[in-house]
Amino acid sequence: MLYAGVEPFGAGVLEVGDGHRVYWEQCGNPVGEPVLVVHGGPGSGCGVGWRRFFDPGRYRVVLFDQRNCGRSLPSAAEPEVDLSANTTGHLIADMELLRRHLGIDRWLLFGGSWGSTLSLAYAQAHPAHVSELVLFSVVTTSAREVEWVTRDMGRIFPEAWERFRDHVPVAERQGDLAAAYSRLLHDPDPDVRAAAAREWCRWEDTHVATAPGHRHDERFDDPDFRMVFARLVTHYWAHAAWVGDSLVDGATKLTGIPGVLIHGALDVSSPPDIPYRLSRVWDEAELVLVGDAGHGAGYVDVSTALVSVLDGR
């Protein structure tokens, strides 16, 4: 059972350099155990639903919108916005700056999907400042994982994938589809950008639909959200998030840090072998497979498991 929504007791905008202003807020107990919520996407932003996983009397919950999305500025929806200063390394630095700004020594990282990648990358860079990780729909955004989502999942949804592939120019259909879409999303023609965002998000809403109960993500009905999300995801995926295949092997840096990895057994677009391999390297990680769930925390059994882990610590 999720907790009732709570309002922030503090919020602000952090100047992080490169012209970026990162929105943050705090909820729950001001003297409680610190948690940093790391949202997915990249580009999803940190909506109010993230607050509901935490006992507000126990946790000091810090939420932030990563560069160029949500309430952080400038927005990736604007065609003139340069994304070159938006990489995994930049986001890790932003998280560290926010930790110091709030006077927090160590915090629990709570992230899902892309947020699990960013949490793992931050924890491996700054293990002394991480008390624990609770991650779900675990991915590491390796080049192989990107290829799986953008090409191999076509074997599960062949008609939808052909539409997704055929939206890019013929000469680019055998190559990196994320990079091809990224180029379209930076085209000077607004109609080209809008169509690319629409088709990218149509595929995003399809490839995760592998378990009973999947529902259309209504955020994709918003043209501005589509543009932010598609531009940031393709920007990151075209570069394998600047982490390559390093996060699984790098999990040896997490020795001594406990973790829980909650993953839907029917999450085909992000196969369970990803958290499984991670747990084989990271001795302190507990892998929890949820039998009838797919990708995301929208499944009752996944959200219940997350709240249970956070309550039972």
Q: Which listed residue (39, 176, 267, 303) is catalytic? A: 267
Length of the chain: 313
| Structure tokens that stand for 63 in this block | 């939420």
Q: Which listed residue (65, 239, 295, 303) is catalytic? A: 295
Tokens 């003297």 belong to 31
CA atoms within 13 A on the CB side of 213: 14
The answer to whether 75 and 64 are in contact (CB under 8 A) is no
310: exposed, middle or buried (C-beta count within 10 Å: 0-12, 13-18, 19+)? buried
Q: What is the pLDDT of residue 143?
A: 96
| Structure tokens that stand for 310 in this block | 């956070």
295 is catalytic: yes
Percent of the chain with pLDDT strictly greater than 70: 100
Q: What is the pLDDT of residue 307?
A: 97
Of residues 47, 95, 48, the one with CA closest to residue 67: 95
Of residues 172, 224, 226, the one with CA closest to residue 199: 226
221 is catalytic: no
187 is catalytic: no
pLDDT digits (tens, 9 = 90+) for 125-175: 999 999 999 999 999 999 999 999 999 999 999 999 999 999 999 999 999
Q: Which residues of the chain have pLDDT under 70?
A: none
Of residues 230, 245, 225, the one with CA closest to residue 117: 245
Give CA–CA dist 228/255, Å, rounded: 36
Q: What is the pLDDT of residue 245?
A: 86
3-state secondary structure 90-132: HHHHHHHHHHHHCCCCCEEEEEECHHHHHHHHHHHHCHHHEEE
Q: Which listed residue (72, 113, 119, 269) is catalytic? A: 113
Q: What is the pLDDT of residue 53?
A: 97
| Structure tokens that stand for 269 in this block | 């677009």
The answer to whether 62 and 11 are in contact (CB under 8 A) is no
Q: What is the pLDDT of residue 1?
A: 83
Q: What phi and psi values does residue 140 have, to the nearest 5 degrees?
A: -120, 0
Q: What phi and psi values does residue 243 have, to the nearest 5 degrees?
A: -120, -15
Q: What is the pLDDT of residue 283?
A: 95
C-alpha Rg value of the chain to the nearest Å: 18
Q: What is the pLDDT of residue 244?
A: 85
pTM of the model: 0.97
Give CA–CA dist 303/300, Å, rounded: 5
